[in-house]
């Protein structure tokens, strides 16, 4: 999978902005200070990755806003998909969807032309703040016995919807048929990583 560089950077940057928005919305909605602090770490990490990608676009002499603009609508659609009924669902939504999409973009980055591939993969692999989010979700799950089955169900819906977005994001190489042939093994990997994330929370995937 060899995506074109600029569309890749634009999509990845929009995605990180979206992750920032999703996490920071939870920070603003939750009254508990400890939860605010934990989730704010995830928001900050997404913002750092966004800024790294924007800096890369600028370094190439391109205008980040122009490069990101074509993907703003897809991103907004994803936002509707991952927002849950309460903050616990929304937090799982962000954790599951952006975990999956980050993995996907890291795989895409490996196919980038030039020396930027490894750098992009590294930039997207910084998972600062993820531990704090996992702790918050585990604590919520321990406090409410009805939550595991609810979140497990929500997680299954999320993964389906997120993969649809991932498929749309894949069509950046200009060769759709070729993409489709190559996506199968990647999907298997993504699902395996997703299953590990759900396991970490004590949820069935």
Closest CA to 161 of 80, 62, 52: 80
Q: Which of 65, 153, 164, 181 binds a copy of itself (CB under 8 A)?
A: 65
Two structure tokens written together for 90: 């929304």
Phi, psi values for residue 202, rounded to 5°: 75, 25
Closest CA to 106 of 199, 8, 205: 8
Cβ proximity to a copy of itself: between 132 and 163 the closer is 132
Cβ proximity to a copy of itself: between 27 and 101 the closer is 27
Rounded to whole angstroms, how far apart are CA atoms 30 and 37? Answer: 10
Cβ proximity to a copy of itself: between 44 and 111 the closer is 44
Indicate the burial class of 32 (C-beta count within 10 angstroms; 0-12, 13-18, 19 or more): exposed
Rounded to whole angstroms, how far apart are CA atoms 123 and 117? Answer: 10
Q: Which of 33, 61, 85, 177 binds a copy of itself (CB under 8 A)?
A: 33
Q: Which stretch binds a copy of itself (CB under 8 A): 62-70, 91-99, 101-109, 195-203?
A: 62-70
Q: Which stretch binds a copy of itself (CB under 8 A): 48-56, 119-127, 142-150, 190-198?
A: 48-56
How far apart are CB 47 and a copy of itself at their closest, in Å?
Answer: 5
Contact positions vs a copy of itself (CB under 8 A): 14, 17, 20-21, 24-25, 27-28, 31, 33-34, 36-37, 40, 43-44, 47-48, 50-51, 54, 64-65, 68-69, 72, 76
């Amino acid at each position: 999978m060899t995506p074109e560089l600029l569309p890749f950077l634009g999509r990845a940057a929009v995605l990180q902005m979206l992750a920032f928005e999703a996490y920071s919305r939870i920070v603003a909605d939750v009254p508990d200070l400890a939860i605010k602090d934990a989730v704010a770490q995830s928001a900050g990490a997404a913002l750092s990755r966004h800024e790294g990608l924007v800096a890369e676009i600028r370094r190439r002499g391109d205008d980040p806003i122009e490069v990101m603009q074509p993907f703003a609508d897809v991103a907004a659609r994803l936002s509707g998909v991952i927002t849950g009924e309460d903050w616990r669902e929304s937090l799982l939504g962000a954790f599951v969807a952006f975990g999956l999409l980050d993995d996907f973009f890291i795989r895409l980055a490996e196919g980038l032309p030039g020396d930027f591939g490894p750098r992009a993969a590294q930039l997207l692999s910084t998972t600062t703040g993820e531990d704090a989010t996992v702790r918050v979700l585990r604590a919520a799950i321990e406090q409410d016995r009805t939550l595991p089955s609810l979140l497990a169900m929500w997680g299954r819906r999320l993964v389906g919807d997120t993969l649809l977005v991932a498929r749309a994001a894949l069509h950046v190489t200009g060769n759709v048929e070729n993409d489709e042939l190559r996506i199968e093994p990647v999907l298997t990997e993504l699902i395996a990583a997703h299953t590990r994330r759900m396991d970490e929370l004590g949820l069935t995937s």
